[in-house]
Amino acid sequence: MLESAQKGNVQQLITDSMQEAAPAYVDELRKQMLDGVMEDGSQIGTYSPMWAAIRKARGLQTDYVDGYFTGAMQRGLFLKVRGDEMDTDSPVPYAGEFQDRYGDGVFAAGGDYLEPFVDQVEQNLIEKVENLLNQD
């Protein structure tokens, strides 16, 4: 049993477990963004009077920044795991500008929004270790 554990690359098991849980992370990040919340729990911001008027005319909420206008940015969200680093982005051309304006925490899940991802990573990792240990 110990030999099987030693054969496995622990960092790779963690990375794979995190990448496999990426859909849970992205789902929660979408919810967090639409709630107007940053990674640290603070509000993303408020819309300028001009943007509030444009959003109001489209029937969108204007109380806080949620980054939603057409939904393309939220639909395009993805998580890429490289070792112990996680990168979240969206392929829309204005995603970088949105992040520059409001900060890195806008594309990072935190608090209660992070729990489903952590739970999924833990479950994935346990399964991978059990499979590895049962190879002998």
Q: What is the pLDDT of residues 49-86, one digit of tens each?
A: 999 999 999 999 999 999 999 999 999 999 999 987 89
Token duo for residue 112? 């209660």
- Provide the strand spans (E) within 12-101: 78-82, 85-89
Tokens of 95: 């995603």
- Decide if pLDDT at 1 tops 50: no
Contact 133, 10 (CB under 8 A): no
Query: Global pTM?
Result: 0.87
Evaluate if residue 25 carries a pLDDT over 50.
Answer: yes
Residues 6 or more apart in contact with residue 133 via CB below 8 angstroms: 1, 4, 5
